Amino acid sequence: MVKNKKKKSRIRRYRRTTQMAVALTFVLVPWLNTKQINLVHGNFLCFNLASIPLADPLAVLQIMVKNGYLSQDLIIGALIALGIAFCLGTVFCSWICPYGLLSDLGQTVAGKWQGKQRGRAGNRSGFLLKLSVFFLGFAGFLVFSTTPVLNQLSLPAWYSRIFQFIFVQGFLSVAIWVLLLVLATEVVFRQRFWCRYICPQSVLLILAKQLNPRRLKVGFDPGRCMGAKGDKSPCARSCNLGLDPKRLDHGLETVCTNCGNCITACSNCGKALTSI
């Protein structure tokens, strides 16, 4: 049992390490660029990793639809992002996104501060709300605006842009306060509002993962479950997004980001949850 616990909590350690590394990368990249080291550059909307393009699929889709053209780099960049989502689910949100990291840490802090009791997010997945933000923004861009508005709703992009502003031109953007405000709201209400209900960038990733029925996801074996029912079970309490991992089949799987917290929690009591 002890050995197993060690092994399983590795998921969380690997995840935190990846998240931290990515978050640090986007601080270091603009700083390195000011030192004339230009091997990597860009932000979360479009990134150039030693000439491997990576791009936010939503940003690419927006300018593709508006201008009716295809750019090889952007297509490759977007397909890499969508391909990862297709195979592994929305791991971008739980393993890479720096806002995901901040929001995740915020929930941990809130948990220590307010105790283990968590406000439930209910059984609605929140995907429809995301989808409406997505379509409103898209329609707004196509009809009224000249710039891709949904890009401005990307919190990871703002995270990286804040550091671009600071290092490239020595300017502290007001966006940092907006970011902290959203974060503070989430800590106070103990729910990850942005990730669950708003973030339009995740919509395409979620759609991509839905296309693959054999993607990586959390599986539940009711026969092995020995935890308490409902909200009090260790797995439900460990979920940062406020999901009940036992009932992911009822539409909530769209929200799950494969962070692995529930699997870690469950490894101590029955191992009913596994990644499949």
Partner 1 sequence: MDTDQKKGPAFLRPPGARTEEEFLARCLQCGQCAQVCIFDCIHMHTGFNFFLSGTPVINPVDAPCHLCMRCSAICPSDALHDIPIEQVRMGFARLDREKCYTWKGLIICRSCFERCPLKGTAIVLDRGEYPVITDQCAGCGVCEHVCPQSAILTIPTRFVE
Residue ranges binding partner 1 (CB under 8 A): 29-30, 33-34, 36, 38, 41-43, 45-48, 53, 55, 59-60, 63, 66-67, 69, 71, 73-74, 77, 145-149, 151-152, 157, 161, 164-165, 168-169, 171, 173-175
DSSP codes joined into one string, 55-107: E-HHHHHHHHHHHT---HHHHHHHHHHHHHHHHH-SHIIIII-HHHHHHHHHH
Distance CA 128, CA 106 (A): 25
Q: Tell the smallest beta-carbon distance from residue 151 to partner 1 (Å).
A: 6
For partner 1, the closer CB: 46 or 225:
46
Q: Amino acid identity of 250?
A: H
Local structure of 49: helix, strand or coil? strand
Q: Tell the smallest beta-carbon distance from residue 36 to partner 1 (Å).
A: 7
What are the two backbone dihedrals, phi and then psi, of residue 244, each rounded to the nearest 5 degrees? Answer: -105, 105
The DSSP code for 247 is G
For partner 1, the closer CB: 168 or 226:
168
For partner 1, the closer CB: 131 or 175:
175
Among candidate residues 203, 161, 197, the one with its CA nearest the CA of residue 179? 161
Q: Tell the smallest beta-carbon distance from residue 79 to partner 1 (Å).
A: 14
For partner 1, the closer CB: 49 or 207:
49
Q: Tell the smallest beta-carbon distance from residue 134 to partner 1 (Å).
A: 18
For partner 1, the closer CB: 29 or 273:
29
Q: Tell the smallest beta-carbon distance from residue 238 to partner 1 (Å).
A: 36
Q: Tell the smallest beta-carbon distance from residue 174 to partner 1 (Å).
A: 7
For partner 1, the closer CB: 105 or 175:
175
CA distances in angstroms from 186 to 111, 130, 173, 254, listed in the order given: 12, 17, 21, 20
Burial of 111 (0-12, 13-18, 19+ CB in 10 A): middle
Q: How far apart are the first and last CA of the chain?
A: 21
b/e sequence 219-249, b meaning 16+ C-beta within 10 Å: ebeeeebebeeeeebbbbbbbbbbbbbbebe
CA 72 to chain centre: 26
Q: Tell the smallest beta-carbon distance from residue 90 to partner 1 (Å).
A: 22
Count of residues making up the chain: 276
For partner 1, the closer CB: 110 or 166:
166
